[in-house]
Amino acid sequence: MKDTHRIKSIIKNLHEKYPKAKTSLSHRNAIEMLIATILSAQCTDDRVNLVTGQLFKKYLTARDFANADIDKLQQEIRSTGFYKNKAKNIINCCKILLEKYHGKVPDAIGELISLPGVGRKTANVVLGNIFDKAEGLVVDTHVKRLSYRMGLTKNKNPEKIEMDLMKITPKKDWIFFSHALIWHGRKICNARKPLCSSCSLKGICPRLGVRIYV
C-alpha cells in the first residue's frame, strides 16, 4: 500500500479511536500555551501541568514573565529540567514579545521560531492549538517513534521527519494527526513494550524496529 493511501487509513483509524485528541498541556491563552510548550522540552506534560498550575497564578502576561526575577523563576520551574536555560529563554522571549508584538504571541511560524527557546515543534504547537493554523506537524518523541515504526519515515531528525510527514499527510489533518499519534504513543505504542496485539493499527503497521509484541 502506498504511503499516501496508508496514511489515510491510519488517520481514519485514529479519528475513530481518538476523536477528541488534543494537547495535554493546560493553558487558557496564547502566552500560557507558549510558556507551557517551552517548559515541555525534555519533560512530561504531566510534570509541566503541575508546575504551570502555580506558575500561571503568579505570571499572567508576557510582561509578568519579562520582568520576572530569573533566580526565582528558575526555582519555580526547576522540576521541568534544564531550568536555567528555560528561565532565560522565557524571560528573553517575553521581552521580545513586548518590544515587537505589544505583548501578544505572533501567529506566523517565521516570527515564532525567531523567539528564544522556540523551535518548529513549539511553534507548531502554538499555531495549531491557539490559532488553528497548520504550518507543519508537531514532532515530539512519540511522533518520532511512531512515524518510524509505521514506516512513514526513515529519518531520525525531527525536522526531516516533519517534512516527510507533510509530503504524505493531507494538510487538513496535520493538527489532528500529531495529537492522535501522541495519544496513541502514550496509550498503546509506548517505547519499551508496545501493545501490538491490542493495537487497532496492527493490520497496516509494519512495526519497524519492534522486537517484542505484547
The model's pLDDT over 2-29, given as tens digits with 9 standing for 90+, comes to 677 889 999 999 999 999 999 999 999 9
- Give the pLDDT of residue 3: 75
List the grid coordinates of 71. 533566580
List the grid coordinates of 106. 505572533
What amino acid positions are annotated as catalytic residues?
121, 140
**Mean per-residue pLDDT for 72-99?**
98
In sequence order, which ranges of 77-201 are alpha helices (DSSP H)? 83-101, 109-112, 120-130, 141-149, 158-168, 174-187
**Mean per-residue pLDDT for 82-104?**
98
Q: What is the DSSP letter of 125?
A: H
Radius of gyration, alpha carbons of the chain: 18
pLDDT at 187 over 70: yes
- Give the pLDDT of residue 90: 98
- Give the pLDDT of residue 96: 98
The model's pLDDT over 27-63, given as tens digits with 9 standing for 90+, comes to 999 999 999 999 999 999 999 999 999 999 999 999 9
C-beta separation of 161 from 155 below 8 A: yes
- Give the pLDDT of residue 5: 82
- Give the pLDDT of residue 153: 95
Distance CA 16, CA 30 (A): 29
* Percent of the chain whose pLDDT exceeds 90: 94
* Percent of the chain whose pLDDT exceeds 70: 98
